[in-house]
Amino acid sequence: MSLKSDKSRYRDSGGNLRLPPAHEGLQVNSCRNPACSGFGVEALTQVDRGRPKSDGSSKLDHYRANGTDGNTADQKLFCKLCGKTSPIKSNRAIQEERTRISGYLEPVPEPSCPNADCQHATKGVFSHPVSYSCHAKLKSSQRLKCRSCGIAFSIATKATHGQRKPHENKTVFAEIVSKKPIRGICKVTGLTPKAVYDKTDFIYEQCRRFVGAREAKAHRINRKYVRLCTDRQDYLINWKTKRRRKNVQFTSTCTVEGMSGYVLGHHLNYDPFVNQIEIDDTARMNGDGLQGARSYFSAQPQYWKSDEFYAVARMQETDIRPSLEEGELTVEERIASKSRMERNYPKQEMADYPAKENQLPPDGAMTHLDYTSYAHALLVRRLIGNPGYLTIYSDQDEVLRGAFTAAFSWQISQGKAEMAYVQFQKRMNIDEKLALSNISRGRIARMGKEWACHPEKAIARHMAWEYAELCARHQDWRNRWVPHPKDTVNEPRRRIQYLTDTGRKSLLNIGWTLSGASLAPVDTYFMQIRRQLYYLERPIPTQTNAEKLYYGYSAYDPLRVVQHLEIFRVFSNYVWTDSNGMTPAMKFGLAKGPVRMEDILYYWPF
């Protein structure tokens, strides 16, 4: 039996609190139904019980925490105004996860006098050069002496300080983003595998420094319109020992700005810099495993605990968590299957539940996908600033819907943001796609003549009327999937579900939002990852062949996957040009021209 420490962060798994309190101004626990008058209105952590006071001083709101989620003590937030429920989250855990994934945006600390008691300890050597004297100046470093306390110390003056073969950095960078295995890079460069891994660490840090300096200022750009395309993708990691032949299965969340193709973030539900044993010990000391404990009052709710992970895994039937992306399903069958899968999650929004032959990573810790997704949405909100108008297109996914409606609840309630699901036929050959595309072009041309307007406006008007008919026929918004009349090669037989109907939008405005719905930018980026990154080539198994799988290309260290994803994101945003010589960063306003690899590798923040 787990014991609860007297120094526990919460008393009795929350004590008198019915909900987690706001943390650093963040409170995501509110109604998620845009059609409700209470949408986005924050729930109180405590309310007065009994009959309301006659003087009106009672502390009340329109929420009730009730019910349990499966076999856990977790409750849901019930809105009395609309009758809808939403999962309860820890605001502190979301903020901690956001701080973790957005750490690259913080400025690099400037070196200063190492003597903590010296008055120059807070004065940087580059911003306050008069406070130090130079004793020696080498090729990539300097020997300085503090003029106050007299301590001598060395500092780096170039990013490549300490490297014996800095000229190989560009080659390693280019080989990583062009699907070259480690042994292949060793043959090309003459480096040892350890040297290649060391250079990968260096390239990863340089990419973070370079892009951090650019994206820290991204919110300052005035944008009239932003279109976000968001989705998630699964990756498998091989086991390290034959004694435990179980795969590690991660899920990443990615958002691409659709107008420019700029990848705003691609985050894995994995933290490489924490220890699983320490997380489990902290949970036991906090009493998180006790009966009646609520997960959102845990010490670290954003991390999977070992007991929790394997308890969920034992309840599953498949060896590997299945994916519907490669299955032979029609679009209607895919919609129904995803809805059924989401209803059968062990807990609401637990899309990353483990299967019976999954295991936790050998190093670091796996985060809960919902907390990483909420943090990801908040980071995206920071990067895009305050655009005049915003549309969010997502794959059919309750986790992404909850994350982005929570992050952009104010914009949605003000009519400045809209969100829609996009689903389409995944398994078709090229001839079938081209045939559908040709047929749809003729159909759209006839619609334009019939409505006596531009074909694009005809599509919007057609989808608006289709949506109105579905609203009259179905009370539940989950049944309102509008067929898109335009079939493309990338997205044949599209179905769109409007998610943010506040009742204040005109039918034609909704039609325009539905007509522009597409996941092509993020799907194209996912395809490039599969084709260009050695570690992530093979897709996840489908429902029909999910089993214990060992992939020769897959990584053994999850940290390498994190590094390669970030390296490729920076490369595709700043270096990779389209047919017009433009990069996504140029279109997004973060670069004036294509960036050379050398500019990233030798970037120095001081």
Number of alpha carbons in the 13 Å side-chain half-sphere of residue 325:
16
Beta carbons within 10 angstroms of residue 315's beta carbon: 13
Would you give the DSSP letter of residue 142? E
Q: What is the mean pLDDT of the chain?
A: 89
Q: Which pLDDT does position 55 carry in this prediction?
A: 64
Q: Which pLDDT does position 176 carry in this prediction?
A: 94
CA distance linking residue 175 with residue 556, whole number of Å: 19
Q: Percentage of the chain with pLDDT > 90?
A: 71
Give the DSSP H or E segment for 401. Answer: helix 398-407
CA distance linking residue 129 with residue 338, whole number of Å: 61
Task: Lowest mean pLDDT of 63-72, 126-135, 447-456, name the range.
Answer: 63-72
Would you tell me the crossing angle of helices 276-286 and 306-314 to the nearest 10 degrees?
Answer: 90
Selected residue with higher pLDDT from 242 and 323: 323
Task: Lowest mean pLDDT of 132-146, 209-223, 237-251, 360-374, name the range.
Answer: 237-251
pLDDT band at 5 (very low <50, low <70, confident <90, very high): very low
CA distance linking residue 288 with residue 354, whole number of Å: 20
**514, 508, 560, 519: which is closest to 536 by C-alpha?**
560
Selected residue with higher pLDDT from 57 and 145: 145
What digits encode the pLDDT tens for the residues 17-38?
A: 889 999 999 999 999 999 999 9
Asked whether 411 and 388 are in contact (CB, 8 A), the reply is: no
Asked whether 601 and 206 are in contact (CB, 8 A), the reply is: yes
Asked whether 575 and 601 are in contact (CB, 8 A), the reply is: no
3-state secondary structure of 323: strand
What digits encode the pLDDT tens for the residues 545-583?
A: 445 555 666 778 899 999 999 999 999 999 999 999 999
Beta carbons within 10 angstroms of residue 320's beta carbon: 25
Task: Lowest mean pLDDT of 63-67, 80-84, 156-160, 331-335, name the range.
Answer: 63-67
3-state secondary structure of 133: strand
CA distance linking residue 300 with residue 302, whole number of Å: 6
Q: Is the pLDDT of residue 412 over 90?
A: yes
Dihedral (CA of 315, 316, 319, 322) sign = negative
Q: Is the pLDDT of residue 70 over 80?
A: no
Q: Is the pLDDT of residue 153 over 50?
A: yes
pLDDT band at 77 (very low <50, low <70, confident <90, very high): very high
CA distance linking residue 298 with residue 285, whole number of Å: 10
Q: Which pLDDT does position 71 carry in this prediction?
A: 63
Mean pLDDT throughout 82-102? 95
Write out the two tokens for 334: 């895919």
Q: Is the pLDDT of residue 444 over 60?
A: yes
Q: Which pLDDT does position 357 carry in this prediction?
A: 86
What digits encode the pLDDT tens for the residues 260-287?
A: 999 999 999 999 999 999 999 999 998 8
3-state secondary structure of 249: strand
pLDDT band at 526 (very low <50, low <70, confident <90, very high): very high
Mean pLDDT throughout 388-397? 96
Q: Is the pLDDT of residue 517 over 60?
A: yes
Beta-sheet strands, E only, within 470-514: 481-483, 495-498
Which are the contacts of 390, defined by CB distance < 8 A and separation ≥ 6? 225, 226, 227, 228, 384, 408, 411, 416, 417, 418
CA distance readout (Å), 43 to 47, 193, 300: 9, 54, 22
Beta carbons within 10 angstroms of residue 254's beta carbon: 22
Q: Is the pLDDT of residue 110 over 80?
A: yes
pLDDT band at 49 (very low <50, low <70, confident <90, very high): confident
CA distance readout (Å), 284 to 89, 278, 287, 495: 20, 10, 5, 46
Order of all β-strands in the sheet with 481-483: 262-268, 248-257, 225-237, 389-395, 417-423, 495-498, 481-483
Report CA Rg, the chain.
26
Selected residue with higher pLDDT from 290 and 514: 514
Which are the contacts of 440, defined by CB distance < 8 A and separation ≥ 6? 485, 486, 487
Asked whether 246 and 239 are in contact (CB, 8 A), the reply is: yes
Q: Is the pLDDT of residue 459 over 60?
A: yes
